[in-house]
Amino acid sequence: GRLYVNRVFNISAENMFELLFTESHFIRRFMNARKITNAILAPWQSDASGSMKRSLNYTITITNPLVGKFSTATENQILYKESREGQYYLVDSEVYTHDVPYHDYFYTQNRYCIIRHSKRKCRLRVYTDVKYKKQPWGLVKSFITKNSWSGLEDYFRHLESELMEEEVELNQGGGDP
Ligand code: YK8
């Protein structure tokens, strides 16, 4: 896997969780910017193990010339029960892109880790892995992996930069340093 984001933000852990994992203005704006449409976000619900789950469905716009322009996608997120409000949040997210070539072979697993750093700061880590449901031919596998990494890198670089802008806006209100 790869670590795409690993940075301390001037945003509290609680606020970071809300920005990324609720229907916040931030995530709506970000989805618009990425041309992610038809989004249906189910609410968080507790499961039998005591963790929380939700699923998201949306259509992504793809810029990779090898692939059609759009794909529907399903994202299953789990907020582990080990998470502690305001302190530590661990979210695993499996993303299935239904309409890309070889879609029945792979999915993407994103692990988001939000750790309280101080009252108004947190560290965000996003760790990504391309997982295989069935083993493709070697050449196909490297093709899928290579094309996934480039799309993921672009996405998370954009997310990081939008979070840095949000951080500036949130801290413009003044207050103690
Ligand atoms: C989520 C992983 C692969 C896919 C794409 C497919 C290439 C097909 C390979 C062929 C287009 C928002 C990605 C990047 C689309 C976007 C997905 C996003 C960024 C040529 C063999 C969508 C996070 C996420 C997870 C997986 C990403 C796809 O929140 O390359």
Pocket test for ligand 1, best of 108, 141, 160 (most atoms within 8 A of CB): 108
Whether the predicted interface score ipTM is above 0.90: yes
Tokens for 163, please give them: 């979070």
Instruction: List all residues 6 or more positions away from 24 whose beta carbon is below 8 Å from its beta carbon.
Output: 18
Angle in degrees, CA 59, 145, 129, rounded to 5: 75
In angstroms, what is the span from residue 177 Cα to ligand 1's centroid? 39
SS (H, E, C) the chain: CEEEEEEEECCCHHHHHHHHHCCCHHHHHHHHHCCCEEEEECCCEECCCCCEEEEEEEEEECCCCCCCCEEEEEEEEEECCCCECCCEEEEEEEEEECCCCCCCCEEEEEEEEEEEEECCEEEEEEEEEEEECCCCCHHHHHHHHHHHHHHHHHHHHHHHHHHHHHHHHHHCCCCCC
Look at residue 42 in the predicted model and tell me its pLDDT: 96
Contact status, residue 17 vs residue 163, Cβ threshold 8 Å: no
Q: Decide whether any atom of ligand 1 lies within 6 Å of the 136 Cβ.
A: no
Contact status, residue 36 vs residue 44, Cβ threshold 8 Å: no
Tens digit of each residue's pLDDT (9 = 90 or more) over 89-129? 999 999 999 999 999 999 999 999 999 999 999 999 999 99
In angstroms, what is the span from residue 152 Cα to ligand 1's centroid? 6
Tens digit of each residue's pLDDT (9 = 90 or more) over 40-84? 999 999 999 999 999 999 999 998 888 889 999 999 999 999 999
Q: Decide whether any atom of ligand 1 lies within 6 Å of the 70 Cβ.
A: no
One-letter amino acid at 128 equals T
Q: What is the pTM of this model?
A: 0.94
Ramachandran region, residue 139 (left: φ > 0; alpha: ψ -120 to 50; beta: rest): alpha
Q: Decide whether any atom of ligand 1 lies within 6 Å of the 101 Cβ.
A: yes
In angstroms, what is the span from residue 151 Cα to ligand 1's centroid? 6
Look at residue 65 in the predicted model and tell me its pLDDT: 86
One-letter amino acid at 151 equals G
Mean pLDDT over residues 126-147, rounded? 95
Look at residue 175 in the predicted model and tell me its pLDDT: 57
Look at residue 159 in the predicted model and tell me its pLDDT: 98
Percent of residues, the chain, with pLDDT higher than 70: 98
Percent of residues, the chain, with pLDDT higher than 90: 92
Distance of CA 89 to the CA centre of its chain: 13
